[in-house]
Structure 1
Amino acid sequence: MGLGSATKKIQQVADTAEKLYERLNEVRAQVNAMRDDVAETRTRVDAMEHRVDRQAVLLEALAEKEGIDVDQLYAEAAIEEAEPVPDAEEAIVEEAETDGGEQ
């Protein structure tokens, strides 16, 4: 291998390394920007959770004042969430079976 050939290869390696270094810096900048965005989002989410918690306390107090059993409402909502909702076809078949096919 001649000296010119070796110089060419070394220059190619140096060029590739430089491109990789530039790309690494771009990725590093993107990661830092994303880290800042995540921190800002977390701060916003925390503030929203705090607001929602305060609103929940207020709503529960108003419900109690009006004589509404909040715990019962929560239990009913949990039951409704746990029950699978039949799709339209299943509902039609069930309704037809319940009616006995009479019209």
Structure 2
Amino acid sequence: MGFGDTAKKIQTLADRAERTYKKISELRDEVDETQETVIDTSERVKTLENEMAEQRAVLDAVAEEVGVDLERVSTEAHITDAEESAAAEGAEGDSDAAADADDDSAASADPDASDEDAA
């Protein structure tokens, strides 16, 4: 009877080891695929960066030939973006303030009602 229990425990342990080995193999495959994806993505990013640099050089040359000040245009674009962001944040803040005001007015209405109830 002792050997039967031992054999059963050994078989259970072997089954667990096999499942663990399969999981580790699957994880190893996933890691390999992820590494390949990262390498591919890195190569694409480098290619895009090179293309952007080339396009920027062409744009600079055309702008210089036409007489456009790219720094001024870029600065104006950043200012416009900042103003739009500030306006959007201000609108969100206004709606939050309105909600707070509604809460305050509701809270002040309740004490009056309780005073009337008490009287």
User: Is TM-score (shorter-chain normalized) higher than 0.5?
Assistant: yes
Q: Give the match for residue 51 of structure 2.
A: 51
Partners of 2:20 and 2:58 lie apart in 1 by: 56
Q: 1:63-102 maps to which residues of 2 (within 5 A)? A: 63-83=63-83, 84=85, 86=87, 90=91
* Structure 1 residue aligned with 2:25: 25
Identity of matched residues, %:
36
What's the TM-score, normalizing by structure 2?
A: 0.68
Gaps of 5+ in 2: 92-119
After TM superposition, the score normalised by the length of structure 1 is 0.77
Query: How many positions carry a matched residue from both structures?
Result: 90
Tell me, in whole angstroms, the C-alpha distance in 2 between the residues paired with 1:82 and 1:12. 65
How far apart are 1:5 and its partner, in Å? Answer: 1.2
Counterpart Cα distance in 1 of 2:31 and 2:66: 51
Larger Rg: 2
Q: In structure 2, how many angstroms separate the alpha carbons of the residues matched to 1:26 and 1:35?
A: 14
Tell me, in whole angstroms, the C-alpha distance in 1 between the residues paired with 2:6 and 2:80: 74
1:81 Cα shift? 2.1
Q: Which runs of no fewer than 5 residues in structure 1 stay unpaired?
A: 91-103
Structure with higher helix content? 2
CA distance, structure 1, for counterparts of residue 81 and residue 12 of structure 2? 62
Residue matched to 1:12: 12
